[in-house]
Amino acid sequence: MNQLLRNYPEEVQRILAKYPADRKRSAIMPLLYLAQRKENYVARQALNDIAEICEVSSTDVASIVGFYTLYYDQPAGRYRMQVCTDMPCALRGAEKFLHELCERVGIKEGETTPDGLFTIEAVKCLAACHRAPMFQVQGDGGIAFHENQTVEIALAWMDEVRARVKAEKEAAA
């Protein structure tokens, strides 16, 4: 059973409709975003699902996951906090920001917090050089920019997320 088709029947069709009927392969990238929406990584089963939909081999799909940095084949934090440390951002203190943020959170760059909520990592240019330090958050199926940051602002945002997740859990229980 194709789980992607079963879970997102309308969205899969909407994605396929963007491309000529004989060019289904173009749908691999949008389908990969769909596949990692919930868990923030692409599970092995999804490779087969996408391969079936796009009429390619699962190796073709896996190669796309490997090539592009926004797809992951391993789980990490529910929210990936990705700090740009490229040169223009570094000139505005991005490296110091990343270092201090990790220190305050108590993890090393690339690691995930023990509650499984946040992974903090350095990434390449995010087109926000004028508002550094900045980071993007990849999670819940989307990406959001956090600009003109200080360590305090970032920590406050993390606290908000923790509180929200806790409230969600309590409501579900």
Q: Tell me which residues touch another protein (CB under 8 A).
A: 18-20, 23, 25-30, 32-33, 54, 56, 63-64, 67-71, 86-96, 123-131, 136, 142-145
**CB nearer another protein, residue 67 or residue 114:** 67
**CB nearer another protein, residue 92 or residue 162:** 92
Q: Residue 46 is inside which H or E element, if any?
A: helix 44-54
DSSP state of 143: E
**CB nearer another protein, residue 75 or residue 167:** 75
Report, in Å, the least distance between residue 66 CB and another protein.
9
**CB nearer another protein, residue 13 or residue 167:** 13
Report, in Å, the least distance between residue 131 CB and another protein.
8
| Per-residue buried b or exposed e for 5-31, using 16+ beta carbons within 10 Å of the residue's own CB | eeebeeebeebbeeeeeeebeebbbbb
Report, in Å, the least distance between residue 26 CB and another protein.
5
What is the largest distance, in Å, between two alpha-carbon atoms of the chain? 52
Report, in Å, the least distance between residue 173 CB and another protein.
31
Extract the tokens encoding 152.
């305090």
Among residues 48, 5, 51, 57, which one has the least CA distance to residue 28?
Answer: 51
